[in-house]
Structure 1
Amino acid sequence: MFKLGKIINRITVIMSLISYGGVLAIMVLNVADVLLLKTLSRPITGAYEITEVLLLCTVMASFAYAQSKKAHINVTLFIKHFPRIIKFMAYGLMGLLSTLTAVAVGYAAILQALSAISRGAQTNVLMIPLYPFYYIEALTMFVFALILLYDTVIAFAAIGSRKCEKIVISTWTG
């Protein structure tokens, strides 16, 4: 099971590269846009809409990476004081709910992509088709859901395993 975790972590490195690349592209684009506007009075055409679509991909890709690094906040103020079975059952159920939510968002992104294809939706200035960005969103949300599911299985396994318990509570504060 822990070997699967290593494979999932490798996949999240790809998600982090998408996120890092998006942030870098947004920064370079916006700095260049402002410089050209202020020095030559010639902004980059479509810079705002490029930023919009890059931001969508960047934010969604960061979710999977943050989850793999346990960077999301878990409010365990009360739950950590519960008896072992209740504690990890509740934590696992919340993980399952989070997983289902991520799957629903990924599915909605696919539906949005299909709608964008059928409508021929594109950006207003540069006429960039929108559907590829929705597919990237769906992919990143499904990877996020995979990581959440893995963490959920570990949480449920912590009910009977001290090794899994240590993994789960290692990210809890206090």
Structure 2
Amino acid sequence: MILNRLETSLLGLAAVLLLALMAVTGIDVIGRYLLNAPLSGAFEMTELLLGALVFTALPLVSRNGAHVEVDLVAGVLPRAVNRGLGVFAALVSAGVLCWFAWTLLMLMLGQIHDGARSVSMGVPLAPFAALGAAACLLSALFGLIRGFTHD
């Protein structure tokens, strides 16, 4: 199924981003404290990699239903009510995530128009906004699927 392949691709991308983040941090620490030569641009690389990692992981969390949930009264409500609340929560979450995606898409278009780049390394920022928008849309889709199919 295409969603399973997509999930596997996201897991792979998240693993690569996490390894890159660890490498940047490790090289910077070793360079800074042992060689007195910190990695140039390490702070900016960390920011960009961490943002990409968070957005890459967001659909995975939605797919697995691993978001934080508070269910103070779920144990005493009838099953049908709990199911209805789950569908309602999925719809609200999907709506908010779609709004985030729209906002990030508009940000990306503005960044493309302005040629926005990171300060010290000059990395284009629009691809990161595009990743965030795509991740929010995918999270909305995964959340809706889970909300309507999970009991």
Please tell me whether Structure 1 or Structure 2 has the larger radius of gyration of its CA atoms.
Answer: 1
2:17 touches 2:49 (CA, 8 Å); kept in 1?
yes
Match of 2:128 among 130, 133, 147: 133
Shift of 1:29: 0.5
Deviation at 1:77, TM superposition (A): 2.8
Gaps of 5+ in 2: none
> TM-score, normalization: structure 1?
0.80
Tell me the C-alpha RMSD between the 2 structures. Answer: 1.6
TM-score (ref. length: structure 2): 0.91
Partner residue in 1 for 2:56: 61
Preserved CA contact (<8 Å) 1:18 1:57? no
Of 75, 85, 89, the residue aligned with 1:90 is 85
User: Matches of residues 1-174 of structure 1 in structure 2 within 5 Å?
Assistant: 6-154=1-149, 167-168=150-151
**Percentage identity across aligned positions?**
25
CA-to-partner distance for each residue in 1:110-155, whole Å, 9 max, x for gaps? 111111112221111111110011111111111111101101222x
- Contact 1:13–1:65, Cα closer than 8 Å, also in 2: no
Q: Which amino acid aligns with 1:105?
A: F
SS of aligned partner of 1:77: coil
Per-residue deviation, 1:75:
2.0
Matches of 2:29 and 2:79 in 1, distance apart?
56
Amino acid at match of 1:55: L
Q: Shift of the alpha carbon at 1:22?
A: 1.2
Distance 2:83 2:37 in 1: 58
* Alpha-carbon offset, residue 81 of structure 1: 2.1
Contact 1:61 1:141 in 2 (8 A): no
| Deviation, structure 1 residue 50 | 1.1
Greater than 3 Å deviation, 4+ residue runs: none
